[in-house]
Structure 1
Amino acid sequence: MSGALLAAWSSNLRFKYTLYRIGLVTALVTTFSMGFTTNVVIWLVLRYLSGISSIAGLLLASGLVMNWLLRKGFKPQLGVHLIGLGLGIVVSGIAVGWMSGRLTWDQQWIGLAVLGLFFFVPAWLFMPQPEAIVFSSRQVQYPVPDRTWSILFNLMYFCAGFGFVISATYIVSILEASPFFEGRGSMVWIVVGAAAAPACTIWDKVAGRLGENRTLIYAFIVQTVSILLPVFSDSAWAGFASAILMSAWMGIVSLTLAIVGRIYPNDPARAMAKLTLSYGVAQIIAPAITGYLVTATGSYSSILVITAAIMGAGIGLLLVIERVQSRKDD
């Protein structure tokens, strides 16, 4: 949430570009520093700074890429850009799986920082500097939505954030409780990343045929199914299906950020950041509720059912948004 606030703080694109680079350095330094202390307070500070740099980096990078796409006249879609997020999950999962049992905990942190350095270089060099967009007569300018649409869209993204944090944060713990995945947490994470990498481009193609709002509804449905599968079965097939279908969150994020990025082309990162605040609120509330329910019941089933219901509310909001939009078009 702090990262989203930071990304929304300024409308100066050059400043955002500088913040993006600061975020890259911060992410690398905080990861490396984790291996040199056992002080819990310092750990908390390092992880907080790392979290800020990660979410700010994601939003700022997405905004800068959207700015470049619009300036160059390309389709304003973020699917290809966000493939990197899925690949990052795969690489980190493989790295953690390999280092476990071979390196000590502090060596693992340093190893992850060294691995991150290989991705730092292209992320630093290849991000294009932003410029203000001047639309030509051939380029489509998207109307700024009214307050009702904005409120509904933010509420929808809150629901998406709740579903994401439960899926992404607890998927490994949930599946490791099943006989097949016990002690295979890194495998789960690799499957999640492998499914997430192509998910954005797939959902972009679906949106090209069905429209973005309708595609978001289907993505919500797919993720809801992935959330409910562990409730009804602890089998290996259900676990793999849940991890694979969970990749729908990538489609939700990609489509949502692309929508607001097109509406506010000269400062997409700021618009994305403001929207992500509702996502961030969900990421604060959901773990607190989860901790209480898991402690009280000894199971994740209740929070998974609640999360599925909240995702259902998100589907309802998308249907309302679709109706509101169709009335405006009429």
Structure 2
Amino acid sequence: MLMELTKVRVYFAGICSLIVTVGVARFSYSLLLPIMQDNAGLTEIGGSWLATTNFMGYMFGVLLAANLHNLHYKYNLHRIYLILSVVTSALMVITTDIVIWSVLRFIAGVCASGGFIIASGLILKWLVKNNHRAELGVHFSGAGVSIIVTSLLVEMMVVMSADWQQQWLALTVMAVIFSIPAWLWIPHPFVDGQIDSDIKDNPPTKTFKSLMMLSYFCAGYGYVVSSTFIVDIVEDIEGLQGLGGFAFLLVGVAAMPAPFIWDRIARSTGYLKALIAAYILQAIGILLPVFSDSAAVIILSVLLFGGTFIACVSLVLTMAGKFYPSNPAKFMGTMTLAYGAAQIIAPISTGYLTEAFGSYDIGLSLSAAVVIVGAIFLYRLLNNKINVEAKVLVN
């Protein structure tokens, strides 16, 4: 009973970490993008550059996590990221200078790696050590929760006629509240003063790694276009103005149970088949607004996107734990470098395409095509059985 309560506490800490380092430090920007464009002089290109600098920061954070092998240092770094997530959100209100905003968004991006990479690695290691199923579905449901709570807060502040600065301050207060359990209950990697040495790694082949990285790059491209611009896309549709925040809320509603569902799909079909299905559904969700701007189609689009993007992350990073249970963040970092590289390229390219063609259609079409290419890489892994040395992913 005590162990189950501890497990719940660990999972809750992970969810709180994602709310702070991902929900506030990352996803809230998508919600505030139209508001800042209307009231703070932020342009389409400026908004795209801020998104890009945020993902550049995330990339740097992933590089740091991947090359930092001391788990005690990672544990303390996660705590630093909680503090910086709060500080960078608060400082957004002091200026409208695009350079200062870029610096703050870069630092916030670094912090996002704390929830996605470091916290998930510490939790996965704790699960393995304590003989629990090595799955991160519960933890990554926190990404959906973070979208829901930030969306609800922003919508509540809109009803109260809050300006963009008050919005950022409200998000800062929320980050402070959720930082407390994340600070206290994320499990320390040391057990009785020692780092576990009895856990054996099962590394995949170099070919497997290469194809998985290419595939995950494609998933990152698809994810970042929709996650960054979904609110603005909805706000630009005639008849749906004012519903961008609601659309983002639906993304969170779909994302919250998705990791649980896809964990169970992967148990019965294997991780690669589950990932292929998630990629295809994500591409369909991205592409739907190109063909129709009806409310029903937009709702289906955001639900498909929300139900798949976090599944791709959860499944791939759970695989990391199966390959490297002694230090899951090692492979997590390697894979996320590919994911993060796409996140640097995609926002700015989409911003320029949108400005050039007057709509998001070309950017969304390109994004969906890239995701399908990622599914093809996965199919090659499955079809050619390159994953023979990684059988755990098939059954």
Cα-to-partner distance string for 1:2-21 (whole Å, 9 max, x where unaligned)? 11112112111111001111
Shift of 1:210: 0.8
Contact 2:134/2:318, CA 8 A, preserved across alignment: yes
Shift of 1:126: 1.1
Q: TM-score, normalised by structure 1?
A: 0.94
Seen in structure 2, the aligned counterparts of structure 1 residues 37 and 302 have a Cα distance that, compared at 3 Å, is closer
Residue among 114, 117, 133 paired with 2:196 = 133
> Which residue matches 2:142?
84
Alignment partners' CA distance in 2, 1:266 and 1:150: 18
Residue among 108, 122, 130 paired with 1:72 = 130
Worse-superposed segment, 171-180 or 20-29: 171-180
Contact 2:287/2:368, CA 8 A, preserved across alignment: yes
Are 2:339 and 1:276 equivalent residues in the alignment? no
Q: How does 1:86-235 map to 2 (within 5 A)?
A: 86-100=144-158, 101-131=160-190, 132-135=195-198, 143-235=202-294
Cα-to-partner distance string for 1:22-42 (whole Å, 9 max, x where unaligned)? 101110111122233444433
SS of match in other structure, 1:73: coil
Instruction: Give identity over the alignment, percent.
Output: 42
SS of match in other structure, 1:29: helix
Shift of 1:326: 6.0
Shift of 1:238: 0.5
Contact 1:67/1:265, CA 8 A, preserved across alignment: yes
Cα-to-partner distance string for 1:60-102 (whole Å, 9 max, x where unaligned)? 0111111111111111111001111111110101111111253
Contact 2:223/2:309, CA 8 A, preserved across alignment: yes
The one-letter code matched in structure 2 to 1:150 is K
Residue among 76, 86, 94 paired with 1:28 = 86
Shift of 1:45: 1.8
The one-letter code matched in structure 1 to 2:286 is I
Worse-superposed segment, 264-273 or 224-233: 264-273
The one-letter code matched in structure 2 to 1:115 is M
The one-letter code matched in structure 1 to 2:188 is Q
Contact 2:208/2:386, CA 8 A, preserved across alignment: no
Shift of 1:214: 0.4
Worse-superposed segment, 67-76 or 126-135: 126-135
Unpaired stretches in structure 2, ≥5 consecutive residues = 1-58
Are 2:305 and 1:246 equivalent residues in the alignment? yes
The one-letter code matched in structure 2 to 1:171 is I
SS of match in other structure, 2:196: coil
Alignment partners' CA distance in 2, 1:41 and 1:279: 25
SS of match in other structure, 1:63: helix
Shift of 1:325: 3.3
Shift of 1:121: 0.7
SS of match in other structure, 2:256: helix
Seen in structure 2, the aligned counterparts of structure 1 residues 327 and 235 have a Cα distance that, compared at 3 Å, is closer
Contact 2:151/2:249, CA 8 A, preserved across alignment: yes
Cα-to-partner distance string for 1:273-319 (whole Å, 9 max, x where unaligned)? 12111111101111222122112211211122221211111111001
Shift of 1:135: 4.2
Aligned-CA RMSD value: 1.7
The one-letter code matched in structure 2 to 1:29 is V
Q: TM-score, normalised by structure 2?
A: 0.79
Alignment partners' CA distance in 1, 2:303 and 2:388: 37
Contact 1:231/1:304, CA 8 A, preserved across alignment: yes
Are 2:61 and 1:3 equivalent residues in the alignment? yes
The one-letter code matched in structure 1 to 2:374 is G
The one-letter code matched in structure 2 to 1:59 is I
Contact 1:229/1:242, CA 8 A, preserved across alignment: yes
Count of aligned pairs between the two proteins: 326
Alignment partners' CA distance in 1, 2:131 and 2:355: 52
The one-letter code matched in structure 2 to 1:213 is L
Shift of 1:327: 7.1
